[in-house]
Amino acid sequence: MNLIGEHTDYNGGFVLPLAVDRVSAFAGRTREDQTVRLWSTHFKAYAQFSLEGLPETFDEQRANLPGWARYVLGVAAELTRSDIALKGFDAVVSGDVPLGGGMSSSAALEIASAEAYALFSDHAFSIGEKDATLTPIETAGLCQRAEQIASGLMCGILDQAASCLGQPRKAVLLDCRSLDYRYLPFEDPDVSVVVIDTGVRRELATSAYNERRQQCEEATQRLRDLIVQVEPENEQARSIKELRDVSPEQFERFKAQLPAVLQKRAGYVIAENERVLQVVKLLEEGKIEEAGKILWIGHAGLRDEYEVSCNELDALVDIAHEVPGVLGARMMGGGFGGCTINLVRNEAVDALRQAVEQQYPERAGREASIDICRAAAGPGHVVLN
């Protein structure tokens, strides 16, 4: 899950995610051929594909697979593109990450797939920091590309990196351009992370996600041209590649010359990058209550400027805002449905639960599910003889 920094990853910005105690898991055994056979306990569905001829055969095989299996195939295609020899396997795929809830279920499946290929291919490669074939960040980048080819969604690296880099009781500050990262303490015995699921599912590839990315690219180009026109000797302006490179001061000076929709999109991203750094400073100082306040502001930006929220997400944030002891809340993930993340004092969790159970059905016409999550470790495996 992402504490703060939504839609900044594909703009070269900063994100502040944490891996949580929910999993996508494979249980299976190695085959001696190039066939992968899978059974999904969630979808009650079977899938089979071949590792032979990848990545060239990806498109052909993809067309005959259910959506969830395309991610597993996509990871295989990217691993073989990296000259890693894979073996087939039989496995059951299961897990408890909410699907389509903004909690990175596809990234969890991709990282689990990479770990499964490493294990079932007799350790043809390994994932880790020291003496490993792939570092966690390289694995995240590989799985990001797998998602893009499997889904058509031009996602950033946030979700995959969070799944790979997770550590117990830690959040990760990730620079999505340099891919440098560092860990921050994220543990307060008096505060819980509460995830509330709207029950609304979204399909990002057919939503406005890719459109937002295109708008950000157009805004970047227009702002660079405007700044260079006024300041032709400004080398920093000439090197602007992404919205991350535009300072808040530059944006304020030139934003009126952008079309209204681009002004909103760029304004949100530039401000959200600043919010990430503000939350980092507050966490380092142990001021989690002050950090919570920034979540409210982030949600308002996602709702009003980036326009990726929905009535159900707004309802949950509004309900949370009226419960004493809720330090902050916002929508989480790509938007248009999914979950909210809430920082809540422990003594207020029951009050928040009751408020949601009483008010949300009336406001949204559906029920919401509520869960408490904790920062947890990244991928791993267990071998059973």
* Interval 362-375: pLDDT, tens: 999 999 999 999 88
What's 129-183 look like in SS3?
A: CCCCCECHHHHHHHHHHHHHHHHCCCCCCHHHHHHHHCCCCEEEEEECCCCCEEE
Q: How confident is the model at residue 334 (pLDDT cuts 50, 70, 90)?
A: confident
Residue 184 belongs to a domain: no
Look up residue 175 and give its amino acid: D
- Beta-sheet strand order (sheet of 35-40): 24-30, 89-95, 35-40, 45-50
Query: Residue 33: helix, strand or coil by DSSP?
Result: coil
Q: How confident is the model at residue 205 (pLDDT cuts 50, 70, 90)?
A: very low
What is the pLDDT, as a whole number, of residue 44?
Answer: 97
What CATH number has the domain bearing residue 50? 3.30.230.10
> Are 136 and 129 in contact, with CB atoms under 8 Å apart?
yes
**What's the rounded mean pLDDT across residues 8-22?**
94
Residue 11 belongs to a domain: no
**Which of residues 115, 148, 165 is at a domain's end?**
165
- 86 and 233 both lie in a single domain: no
- 284 and 341 both lie in a single domain: yes
**What's the rounded mean pLDDT across residues 130-146?**
90
**What's the rounded mean pLDDT across residues 217-245?**
94
Number of domains in the chain: 2
- 311 and 217 both lie in a single domain: yes
- 350 and 239 both lie in a single domain: yes
Residue 55 belongs to a domain: yes
- 24 and 88 both lie in a single domain: yes
Which of 9, 159, 197, 314 is labelled catalytic?
Answer: 159
Q: Output the CA–CA distances (angstroms, integers) from residue 279 to 39, 173, 275, in the order listed.
A: 41, 10, 6
Cβ partners under 8 Å of residue 305, min gap 6: 264, 265, 267, 268
Residue 94 belongs to a domain: yes
Residue 3 belongs to a domain: no
- 279 and 369 both lie in a single domain: yes
- 138 and 206 both lie in a single domain: no
**What's the rounded mean pLDDT across residues 9-36?**
94
**What's the rounded mean pLDDT across residues 213-236?**
94
pLDDT digits (tens, 9 = 90+) for 86-119: 999 999 999 988 776 667 889 999 999 999 999 9
Short-list 265, 66, 259, 263, CA closest to 151: 66
- 201 and 311 both lie in a single domain: yes
Q: Pull the structure tokens for residue 239.
A: 């090197």
Short-list 157, 190, 188, 147, CA closest to 171: 188
* Cα gap 247→357, rounded to integer Å: 42
- 240 and 129 both lie in a single domain: no
Greater confidence (151 vs 343) lies with 343
Greater confidence (336 vs 323) lies with 323
- 219 and 360 both lie in a single domain: yes
Region of poorest pLDDT, from 94-98, 297-301, 319-323, 337-341? 94-98
**Which of residues 165, 181, 207 is at a domain's end?**
165
- 205 and 299 both lie in a single domain: yes
Residue 180 belongs to a domain: no
To the query of whether residue 159 is one of the catalytic residues in this protein, the response is yes
pLDDT digits (tens, 9 = 90+) for 250-288: 999 999 999 999 999 999 999 999 999 999 999 999 999
Residue 46, domain extent: 20-165
pLDDT digits (tens, 9 = 90+) for 71-85: 999 999 999 999 999
Task: State the average pLDDT for the chain.
Answer: 93
**Which of residues 165, 199, 219 is at a domain's end?**
165
> Are 272 and 335 in contact, with CB atoms under 8 Å apart?
no
**What's the rounded mean pLDDT across residues 154-164?**
91
Residue 378 belongs to a domain: no
What is the pLDDT, as a whole number, of residue 203?
Answer: 60
- 62 and 25 both lie in a single domain: yes
What CATH number has the domain bearing residue 247? 3.30.70.890
* Cα gap 261→77, rounded to integer Å: 38
> Are 306 and 164 in contact, with CB atoms under 8 Å apart?
no
Residue 6 belongs to a domain: no
Q: Is the pLDDT of residue 128 over 90?
A: no
